Amino acid sequence: MIIAIDGPAGSGKTTVAKLLSKRLNISYLDTGATYRVLTLAALENNLNLKDEGALEDLAKKLDLKIEDEKVYLNSTDVSSKIRAPLIDKNISVVVSHERVRVQMVGLQRRIAQGSDFVVEGRDITTVVFPNAQKKFYLDAAFPIRVKRRFRELKERGLAVNFDELKEDLKRRDDADKNREVGPLRISKDAIYIDTTALTLEGVIEAILRHIKK
């Protein structure tokens, strides 16, 4: 069974998906992390992020492994590195390339093939797993999403400017919703959950109720 969760940054989907997978005792896949790893690898190799061919080649040979919620690039744990503001600033360019997304979607499907997974990202219900048995779209008011993202980065010990983060998040929202390939949108058969005023447990309980129906 695939439980697919989409939503913008700060909507709570990553935290919810992790806890939901543990509650259901099934695997978890953050597809956004795969793109973050690719972005990190591109930056470390000094690639032009607008060069679709170079990024496609990098995606084809990407040595990526996700294990116990840790993300590895070339056998090195990069779980913290891929969440840095530098990745946030550059990832929108990387994910905008159609041929790159084709490679990454293939990778994501191979990871989840034949197993039960909670999968979250921005085009999971519409592109990666359009036939998922359960689909959800998590959202929240923009100011709340900014505060959540700011708190998350601060808790990781990262130096971050609130106003810069706000602008970065707005640019990311615009890029995600308006890109030609795999845009962020609400699938017609997805259940929409506004997490603005909900506790984390409240969101999980709402999802579990729909799953049990």
> What are the pLDDT digits (tens) for 3-46?
999 999 889 998 999 999 999 999 999 898 999 999 999 999 99
Positive or negative CA dihedral for 68, 38, 10, 212?
A: negative
Instruction: Tell which residue, 135, 142, 121, 172, has the closest CA to residue 13.
Output: 121
Buried b (16+ CB within 10 A) or exposed e, 96-115: bbeebbebbbebbeebbeee
**The pLDDT of residue 158 is above 90:** no
Instruction: Tell which residue, 123, 125, 145, 121, has the closest CA to residue 136.
Output: 125
How confident is residue 131, by pLDDT bands cut at 50, 70 and 90? very high
Domain ranges for the chain: 2-195
Q: Please state the pTM of the whole predicted model.
A: 0.84
**The pLDDT of residue 201 is above 80:** yes
The structural architecture, per CATH, of the domain 2-195 is 3-Layer(aba) Sandwich (3.40)
